[in-house]
């Protein structure tokens, strides 16, 4: 899949409307980057430290104002149609149902940031090739559902018919 900052459409007008919580934000509103990786930007880390490591843009996210903001996908479900990931624990070679899609790329000086969301393969193709939008009210593609059900059946055989929802790793 070809991705360039000025190339194929990313399917959204303003990446920051879709963008999630900063990867560096801790549950208690502090900056993990400053806490654990101060060497990345010592000036930035010193400023956070002086404020008890509080995130200076806050959980409500004036994200674009922070040069270290980054929001990458958790790979759980498709941002567009909601299709859930089904991992093939016994088959590492199976192509994942979900792919990371870049809404924005870091430019190195903090005016743009790395923002990715998960899209299923089918939505990903629609976004890049046929003007699908991330915020479309989309249902999963019939092919995507078929592929998911095939995987779930394989997964149930693997785990002896124990429903996925009752397993402790979910």
| Residues forming the site for Zn ion (CB under 5 A) | 78, 80-81, 83, 101, 120, 123
Strand partners, 100: 118
Q: Which residue carries 């870091």 as its tokens?
A: 106
| Least distance in angstroms from the C-beta of 157 to Zn ion | 25
Give the pairing of strands 70-71 and 114-120: parallel
Helix (H, G, I), strand (E, B) or coil at 21: coil
Q: List CB contacts of 156: < 8 A, sequence separation 6 or more.
A: 162, 163, 164
Select 54 or 94, whichever has its Cβ closest to Zn ion. 94
| Least distance in angstroms from the C-beta of 121 to Zn ion | 8
Select 33 or 138, whichever has its Cβ closest to Zn ion. 138
Select 66 or 120, whichever has its Cβ closest to Zn ion. 120
Select 80 or 113, whichever has its Cβ closest to Zn ion. 80
Alpha-carbon torsion (135, 136, 138, 143), positive or negative: negative
| Least distance in angstroms from the C-beta of 7 to Zn ion | 10
Q: 3-state secondary structure string, 71-139? A: ECCCCCECCCCCCECCCCCCCCCCCCCEEEEEEECCCCCCCCCEEEEEEEHHHHHHHHHCCCCCCCCCC
| Least distance in angstroms from the C-beta of 67 to Zn ion | 24
| Least distance in angstroms from the C-beta of 83 to Zn ion | 5
Select 33 or 123, whichever has its Cβ closest to Zn ion. 123
Nearest CA to 125 out of 112, 137, 143, 113 is that of 143
């Amino acid at each position: 899949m070809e991705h360039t900052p000025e190339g194929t459409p990313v399917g959204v007008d303003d990446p920051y409307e879709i963008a999630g919580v900063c990867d560096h934000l801790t549950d208690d509103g502090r900056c993990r980057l400053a806490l654990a990786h101060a060497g990345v930007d010592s000036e930035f880390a010193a400023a956070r430290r002086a404020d008890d490591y509080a995130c200076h843009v806050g959980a409500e996210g004036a994200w674009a104002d922070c040069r270290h903001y980054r929001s990458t996908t958790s790979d759980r479900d498709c941002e567009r149609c909601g299709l859930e990931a089904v991992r093939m624990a016994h088959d590492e070679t199976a192509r994942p149902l979900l792919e990371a899609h870049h809404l924005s790329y870091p430019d190195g000086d903090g005016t743009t940031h790395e923002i990715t969301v998960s899209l299923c393969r089918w939505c990903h193709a629609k976004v890049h090739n046929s003007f699908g939008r991330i915020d479309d009210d989309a249902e999963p593609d019939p092919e995507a559902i078929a592929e998911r059900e095939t995987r779930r059946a394989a997964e149930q055989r693997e785990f002896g018919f124990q429903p996925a929802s009752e397993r402790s790793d979910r």
